[in-house]
Amino acid sequence: MTDRVHPSAKTTKPTFPATKSQLSGANRPTYRPQPPRRRSSRGCASTLCCYLLLILLLLLLLIGGAGTVFYFLCHPQRPSFSVTSLKLSYFNLTSPSTFKASFDLTLSTTNPNHNILFSYDPTSVSLLYADATLATATIPSFLHHQRNTTVLQAHVTSTEEEVQSDTVTELKRSAKSKSEVALKVKLETKVEAQMSVLQTPGVGITVLCDDIAVTLPDGEKPASASVENTACEVDVRFKVWKWTV
């Protein structure tokens, strides 16, 4: 029986060198799907900060523009203050750290504006000697109308707190040598400006009237102060958040 001889299967040998298509297929990386990227929280925070800063700048521009228009339309002026009279009815310096006195104070304030009304909160009044508070009082709140002069009166009495001995000693020395003492009048309050339907927020205001020479009382007769050349300075304090300007 004759054996059949099967032809051997031809094996395909790779061509050498490799073709261009084989090289490009071998170097191509395997595709792997990437997970979706998450937006960074830091990026969101910075974007929010940018928006807030932009809004703040716009608000500042609007406020500045409104203030400029208000100034050119109204030409606002500060109120003026002066001490009309100051009478010392009682004065006692018996102890080294206690000062007892009673004053009758009269002030006048003028509103020079023709279209702005001032609304004052209760005003604290202090009588000072060498920056030490000797007597205090409070003036009730009031309205100050346009082109008007208002007279304010206060009965100022000594505080219950003890005064520093150095201040009392200096006060005694001045009273003996000159028979008079130089005092200061200090006012502190908040005021709102009103014009038609517009109203500003409360603004702090400090009034300081210095170089007031008060003669000491002789017996039971009250003494008066020389207030002819009293200079009162008005200091307006704007508060921006936690800072006072």
What are 160-214's pLDDT values in tens digits? 666 666 777 777 777 666 677 888 999 999 999 888 777 888 889 999 998 888 8
DSSP for 120-152 reads EPPEEEEEEETTEEEEEEEEPPEEE-TTEEEEE
What are 11-35's pLDDT values in tens digits? 555 555 555 555 555 556 565 666 6
Structure tokens given for 3: 């054996």
188, burial (CB in 10 Å: exposed 0-12, middle 13-18, buried 19+): middle
Total-model pTM: 0.67
Mean pLDDT for the stretch of residues 122-148 = 92
In the Cβ-directed half-sphere of 75, how many Cα atoms lie within 13 Å? 3
More confident residue, 46 or 202: 202
The CATH number assigned to the domain with range 80-238 reads: 2.60.40
> How confident is the model at residue 102, as a pLDDT?
87
> How confident is the model at residue 13, as a pLDDT?
56
